[in-house]
């Protein structure tokens, strides 16, 4: 078996993996709304952020909805904490600078990505609870407090929108974040991904295990193929569309 024989799905996974970062992580602190959490997971995965940590809300997390995450949660490395102090201890132990989203007057208005320079070696972006934001405990230890400029009456963005805007500013300020991951971390993620991609097909797990130890050549483009990118319309939506189309045709004939 040679590397050139690797299935395209593994070669594409390898291409995505090589763009993953561990220098920048997202921390969701005590979020209320499950849909917001899942939307943030999708946002983080889309940016290539591999690690998402969550300080659990007392009511606990809900079920993942594939219609919201689009399966993105399967490709993330997630970690949960029972309380904020435990999360802070882990962040400090792993050497992360703590950047908290905050609307107070002491926070820095993030009008351009250059305001984030010089960019630390490792950054944890803290996104707070929808109702009252980042906790006082987290704010007290934050190395920076940041807020996004807004020009309307509304005081804050949706959780996922705010996360996306913060992440975009970070990647604009420090392009080297793309692909910034140690080989040890990359191997661990590759093992999880390839195992998942093998599925339950007989013999495939052993075959894919080979490629974990012998990483395949990545595809030139990490995006899906044109065929795979075709819209996948849910059955219920497709049925409504067909009914509407048939109704319009009937109306036109009547007219």
21-177: CATH topology: Alpha/beta knot (3.40.1280)
pLDDT at 250 over 80: no
pLDDT at 21 over 80: yes
**CA distances for 30 relative to 84, 129, 134, angstroms:** 8, 5, 8
How many whole angstroms separate alpha carbon 192 and alpha carbon 51?
14
The pLDDT assigned to 40 comes to 96
Give the number of other Cβ atoms within 10 Å of residue 135's Cβ: 20
Contact residues for 136 (Cβ-Cβ < 8 A; gap 6+): none
Say if residue 170 is exposed, middle or buried (CB neighbours under 10 Å; 0-12, 13-18, 19+): buried
What confidence tier does 3 reach under pLDDT thresholds 50, 70, 90? very low
First-residue to last-residue Cα distance in the chain: 66
How many whole angstroms separate alpha carbon 237 and alpha carbon 170?
37
The pLDDT assigned to 55 comes to 96
Average pLDDT in the 101-106 region?
A: 92
The pLDDT assigned to 43 comes to 97
Quick: pLDDT tens for 44-92: 999 999 999 999 987 655 454 555 656 889 999 999 999 999 999 999 9
The pLDDT assigned to 243 comes to 82
What confidence tier does 255 reach under pLDDT thresholds 50, 70, 90? low
The pLDDT assigned to 88 comes to 98
pLDDT at 142 over 60: yes
How many whole angstroms separate alpha carbon 219 and alpha carbon 14?
8
How many whole angstroms separate alpha carbon 130 and alpha carbon 237?
30
Average pLDDT in the 226-238 region?
A: 72
Contact residues for 247 (Cβ-Cβ < 8 A; gap 6+): none
pLDDT at 39 over 80: yes
Share of the chain above pLDDT 90, in %: 70
How many whole angstroms separate alpha carbon 170 and alpha carbon 230?
31
How many whole angstroms separate alpha carbon 43 and alpha carbon 45?
6
Q: What is the pTM of this model?
A: 0.86
How many whole angstroms separate alpha carbon 203 and alpha carbon 79?
31
Contact residues for 215 (Cβ-Cβ < 8 A; gap 6+): 3, 14, 190
For the chain, the average pLDDT equals: 90
**CA distances for 156 relative to 124, 129, 134, 140, 170, angstroms:** 20, 12, 13, 21, 19
Contact residues for 131 (Cβ-Cβ < 8 A; gap 6+): 32
The pLDDT assigned to 1 comes to 44
pLDDT at 156 over 80: yes
The pLDDT assigned to 20 comes to 98
pLDDT at 253 over 80: no
**Domain spans of the chain?**
21-177
């Amino acid at each position: 078996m040679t590397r050139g024989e690797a299935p395209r799905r593994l070669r594409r996974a390898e291409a995505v993996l090589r763009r993953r970062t561990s220098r920048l992580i997202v921390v969701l602190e005590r979020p209320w709304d499950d849909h917001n959490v899942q939307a943030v997971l999708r946002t983080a995965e889309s940016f290539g952020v591999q690690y998402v940590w969550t300080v659990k809300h007392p009511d606990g997390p809900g079920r993942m909805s594939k219609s919201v995450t689009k399966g993105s949660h399967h490709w993330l490395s997630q970690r949960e904490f029972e309380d904020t102090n435990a999360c802070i201890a882990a962040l400090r132990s792993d050497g992360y600078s703590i950047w908290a989203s905050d609307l107070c007057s002491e926070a820095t208005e993030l009008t351009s990505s250059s305001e984030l320079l010089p960019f630390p070696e490792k950054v944890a972006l803290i996104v707070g609870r929808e109702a009252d934001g980042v906790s006082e405990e987290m704010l007290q230890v934050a190395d920076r407090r940041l807020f996004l400029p807004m020009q309307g009456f509304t005081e804050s963005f949706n959780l996922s929108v705010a996360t996306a805007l913060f992440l975009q500013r970070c990647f604009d300020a420090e392009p080297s974040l793309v692909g910034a991951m140690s080989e040890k971390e990359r191997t661990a993620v590759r093992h999880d991904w390839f195992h998942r991609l093998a599925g339950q097909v007989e013999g495939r797990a052993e075959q894919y295990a080979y490629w974990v130890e012998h990483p395949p050549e990545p595809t030139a483009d990490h995006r899906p193929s044109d065929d795979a990118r075709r819209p996948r319309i849910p059955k219920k939506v497709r049925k409504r569309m067909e009914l509407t189309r048939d109704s319009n045709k009937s109306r036109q004939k009547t007219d």
